[in-house]
Amino acid sequence: MASRKILHADCDCFYAAVEMRDDPTLREVPLAVGGSQERRGVIATCNYAARAFGVRSAMPTARALRLCPDLVLRAPDFERYRAVSREILALFHELTPRVEPLSLDEAYLDISAVTRFRGSATWMGEWLKAQCLARTGITLSVGAAPNKFLAKVASDWDKPDGLKVIPPQAMEAFVAALPVTCLPGVGPATATKLETLGIRRCDELRHLPREALIERFGKFGQRLFELCRGRDEREVRPQRVRKSVSVETTFPRDLPDLASCQAALPALVDRLEARLARHGHPPPSQAFVKVRFDDFSLTTLEGSAPWDALMTQAWGRGARPVRLLGVGVRLRPPEARRQLPLFDEGP
């Protein structure tokens, strides 16, 4: 692992950065990209001026506007964002063919075999940042480390416009002092459990035996055992296989009952089928529906039953008004084709 050199490159507040680039008057004001509060939208991303008010990604727009009444809200323009993303991805491939995109605005790059810049991860990171800014007007934060886990941590370290390098000889001390909240998968609930054990940093977590971690946290306990020691054997995979495709809608007014949910279902399925056709994905194996009720509780149901049957079962788990519906499919190779019916055709 120590011979690997992995970069994690992450655009800073990407959607907002594109908006600020194209409209310089937005650079000095709190800005967010997301859905309107009238349609109960959420914030996709925001600039750092907005974050100073407590605005965050995935926050309901209505709450963001309460925190920052002067927030400028822009509807997302994904075609424009995708065009910028393609430019940045092409830049990454100029450095190495081993690029694993994670989303429109971030990717892993395996630079282990790159000999340019005398093989220096620091110089490669500096070049990527300078070229990205010059060509697209977008700032990158870059992390470099011997594995994907630490490269991701490093890219977040000095945001925005950061460059953090963790060489192999510095890994041990860096990971030991790392807060457990920096470990992927450690959310508020897990962090609270660890804190009750007196564990806030990775060096403290290392005192728990593997068996004790697995007993307390299940399979994730094994992952915690590895991460707190800086271990991550995942390779950069240039050809990532997408495992699912989905669409969802948050409704301006709650859907009051099952009948209204069923009435909204065909339009969602049409959107899903259009997305599958547009991107040429392999045929589905399992369908799933996602229901968020008016109390914000969420349920997801997966199966091979028709869409309407899945919706009936999923809605029955809460049996109350619904604010969001989603439908999706798990993908499988072409050799295992099977048509998913929209509605049960009966005997």
Residue 339: what pLDDT?
Answer: 46
76/92 Cα distance (integer angstroms): 24
| pLDDT for residue 336 is more than 70 | no
User: Which pLDDT score, from 0 to 100, does residue 281 have?
Assistant: 67
DSSP, collapsed to helix, strand or coil, labels residue 176 as: helix
- Please compute the mean of the pLDDT values over residues 315-331 and round it to a whole number: 93
> What is the per-residue pLDDT for 340?
46
Determine the pLDDT at residue 56: 94
Q: Collapse the DSSP code of 125 into the 3-class scheme (helix H, G, I; strand E, B; otherwise coil) and give the result.
A: helix
Q: What is the pLDDT of residue 342?
A: 46
Of the options 3.40.1170.60, 3.40.30.10, 3.40.50.2300, 1.25.40.10, the CATH number for the domain spanning 15-77: 3.40.1170.60
- Dist. CA 84–CA 89, nearest whole Å: 9
Higher-scoring residue by pLDDT: 113, 335: 113
- Token pair belonging to 85: 């993303």
Residue 125 has pLDDT above 50, yes or no: yes
Confidence check: pLDDT of 332 > 90: no
Span 319-324, average pLDDT: 93
How high is the pLDDT of residue 333?
56
What average pLDDT does range 192-197 have in this prediction? Answer: 93
- Going along 149-241, which residue ranges are E strands? 163-165
Give Cα separations from 16 to 31, 87, 291 (angstroms). Answer: 7, 17, 29
Q: Which CATH superfamily is domain 179-227 in?
A: 5' to 3' exonuclease, C-terminal subdomain (1.10.150.20)
Main-chain phi, psi angles of 201, to 5 degrees: -125, 165
**Binding residue ranges:** 10, 105
- The mean per-residue pLDDT over the stretch 286-310 comes to 92
Mean pLDDT in residue range 24-37: 93
Which pLDDT belongs to residue 274?
A: 86
Show which residues are catalytic: 106
Residue 123: per-residue pLDDT? 97
Q: How many CB atoms lie within 10 A of CB 238?
A: 16
**pLDDT confidence of residue 263:** 93
The Cα–Cα gap between 280 and 129 comes to 33
- Is it true that domain 244-336 has CATH number 3.40.50.11900? no
Q: What is the rounded distance in angstroms from the CA atom of residue 270 to the CA atom of residue 267?
A: 5
Annotated binding-site members for Mg(2+): 10, 105
* 334 — pLDDT class (breaks 50, 70, 90): very low
pLDDT of residue 347: 42
pLDDT exceeds 70 at position 168: yes
Locus of tokens 């459990």 = 193
The predicted-structure confidence for 31-46, as pLDDT tens digits, reads as follows 999 988 887 788 999 9
**Full-prediction pTM beyond 0.85?**
no
Q: Any bridge partners for residue 2, and if so which?
A: none
Peptide bond into 321 cis (omega under 30): no
Which range (50-59, 173-182, 214-223, 234-243) has the least confidence?
A: 234-243
Q: What CATH number labels 6-10+79-172?
A: 3.30.70.270
**What are the pLDDT digits (tens) for 73-120?**
999 999 999 999 999 999 999 999 999 999 899 999 999 999 999 999
C-alpha–C-alpha distance, residues 123 and 37, integer Å = 44
Position 253 scores a pLDDT of 87
Mean pLDDT over residues 312-327, rounded?
94
Structure confidence at residue 207 (pLDDT): 94
Percent residues over pLDDT 70 in the chain: 93
CB 16 within 8 A of CB 55: no
Give the confidence band of 1 by pLDDT, cuts at 50, 70, 90.
Answer: very low
Provide the residue ranges of all domains of the chain, joining segments of one domain with +: 6-10+79-172, 15-77, 179-227, 244-336
338 falls in which pLDDT band (50, 70, 90)? very low
pLDDT at 277: 81
